[in-house]
Amino acid sequence: MSNTALQPAQPAPAIRAYLGGSFDPVHRGHVQMAMAVYQSLLPLAQAQQRALYVSLLPNARSPFKRQSSDPKHRLAMLKLAIQDTPLYIDELEIWQPPPVYTIDSVRTLRQRYPADSLIFIMGMDSARSLNKWQDGLQLTDYVHLWVFYRDSMSVPDMGNTRLALQYWLPTPLQAAVTDSPAALTQPISQPSFIQTPTDPTIEQAILKNPASGRIYIDMRQVAAISSTQIRQTLQQQPRGDSEAVPDSAAGNHTKPVIDEQMTAASAINAIMNPPDPLAKWLNPAVYHYIIAHQLYSAAQFR
List the beta bridge partners of residue 55: 18, 88
| Per-residue pLDDT at 2 exceeds 80 | no
Give the lowest-confidence range in 10-14, 177-181, 183-187, 256-260.
256-260
Residue 5 phi/psi, 5° resolution?
-70, 140
pLDDT per residue as tens digits for the range 203-253: 343 444 445 589 999 988 787 788 888 998 888 876 554 343 333 333 344
**pLDDT in the model for residue 206:** 42
| Per-residue pLDDT at 3 exceeds 80 | no
pLDDT per residue as tens digits for the range 55-78: 999 998 655 555 678 999 999 999
- Return the higher-pLDDT residue of 151 and 42: 42
**pLDDT in the model for residue 137:** 93
Average pLDDT of the chain is 78
Residue % of the chain over a pLDDT of 90: 52
Q: Tell me the pairing of strands 215-218 and 177-178.
A: parallel
**pLDDT in the model for residue 242:** 39
pLDDT per residue as tens digits for the range 154-169: 544 445 577 778 888 9
- 35-74: b (≥16 Cβ within 10 Å) or e: bbbbebbeebbeebebebbbbbbbbbbbeeeeebbebebb
pLDDT per residue as tens digits for the range 15-42: 999 999 999 999 999 999 999 999 999 9
Question: What contacts 181, CB < 8 A, 6 or more positions away?
Answer: 40, 41, 44, 146, 216, 218
Would you list the DSSP string of 142-164? T-EEEEE--TT---TTT-S-HHH
Nearest alpha carbon to residue 88 among 119, 52, 61, 118: 52
Which structural domains are found in the chain, ordered by start?
15-218 (3.40.50.620), 227-301 (no CATH)
| Per-residue pLDDT at 109 exceeds 90 | yes
Global pTM value:
0.77
Instruction: Give the other-Cβ count within 10 Å of 12's Cβ.
Output: 14
Segment 124-137 mean pLDDT: 93
Residue 89 phi/psi, 5° resolution?
-120, 130
Residue % of the chain over a pLDDT of 70: 69
Q: Which contiguous run of DSSP H or E holds residue 21?
A: strand 15-21
Task: Say how far apart CA 223 and CA 196 lie, in whole Å.
Answer: 40
- Return the higher-pLDDT residue of 54 and 279: 54
Beta strands in 98-222 (DSSP E): 117-123, 144-148, 177-178, 193-195, 203-205, 215-218
Helix (H, G, I), strand (E, B) or coil at 17: strand
Segment 138-159 mean pLDDT: 75
